[in-house]
């Protein structure tokens, strides 16, 4: 067997297999023959499949903002309670995306936000993963503007 480039070994090592079927309205994340792609908390500069915080993640090298929620900040929190809740939201999003394949549905009327992140709703079996975070008190439903967490 021929030697594989470092990035290919890394992808195989974490068992990350992803297929994106894209259209203007939606993308589907599927992991054939694997229960789920493996997402971890983002560290360092190499970001293929990882979670930044409770409402932002990298999927197949694309930065995605979970469009239907607002989660507390962890990079620049305004108070200790925001940081604590943001860390819980981040860990829970990691759990949710690792529970199996999910669909990425475009946000009506906007494809990207002002930071260039793809705006998507994460759906599994027709149910929003963001709604789960909201129901657990780890995020708020997106209303079109950020509200303070402190």
Query: pLDDT of the chain along its 150 residues, tens only?
Result: 444 343 332 332 333 333 333 333 444 444 332 235 689 999 988 788 999 999 999 998 899 999 999 999 999 999 999 999 999 999 999 999 999 999 999 988 899 999 999 999 999 999 999 999 999 999 999 998 889 999
47 is catalytic: no
Which is catalytic among the residues 88, 92, 117, 120? 117
- Here the CATH number for the domain that contains residue 72 is 2.40.50.90
Domain assignment present for 148: no
Domain assignment present for 80: yes
Question: What pTM does this model have?
Answer: 0.77
82 is catalytic: no
9 is catalytic: no
Which is catalytic among the residues 65, 88, 92, 120? 65
Domain assignment present for 150: no
What is the residue range of 46's domain? 6-141
CB burial of residue 131 (10 Å; 0-12, 13-18, 19+): middle
Domain assignment present for 1: no
Q: Which residues, including other chains, have CB under 8 Å from residue 97's CB and lie 6 or more apart? A: 36, 37, 39, 51, 57, 122, 129
Domain count, the chain: 1
Strand partners, 127: 124
**pLDDT for residue 48:** 87
């Amino acid at each position: 067997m021929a030697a594989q480039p470092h990035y290919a070994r890394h992808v195989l090592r974490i068992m990350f297999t992803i297929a994106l079927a894209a259209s203007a309205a939606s993308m589907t994340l599927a992991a054939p023959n694997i229960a789920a792609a493996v997402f971890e908390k983002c560290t360092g500069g190499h970001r293929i499949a990882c979670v930044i915080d409770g409402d932002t993640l990298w999927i197949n090298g694309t930065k995605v903002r979970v469009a239907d929620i607002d989660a507390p900040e962890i990079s620049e929190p305004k108070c200790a309670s925001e940081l604590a809740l943001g860390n819980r939201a981040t860990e829970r999003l990691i759990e949710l995306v690792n529970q199996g394949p999910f669909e990425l549905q475009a946000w009506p009327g906007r494809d990207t936000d002002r930071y260039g992140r793809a705006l998507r709703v994460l759906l599994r079996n027709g149910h929003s993963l963001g709604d789960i975070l909201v129901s657990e008190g780890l995020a708020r439903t997106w209303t079109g503007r950020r509200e303070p967490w402190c």
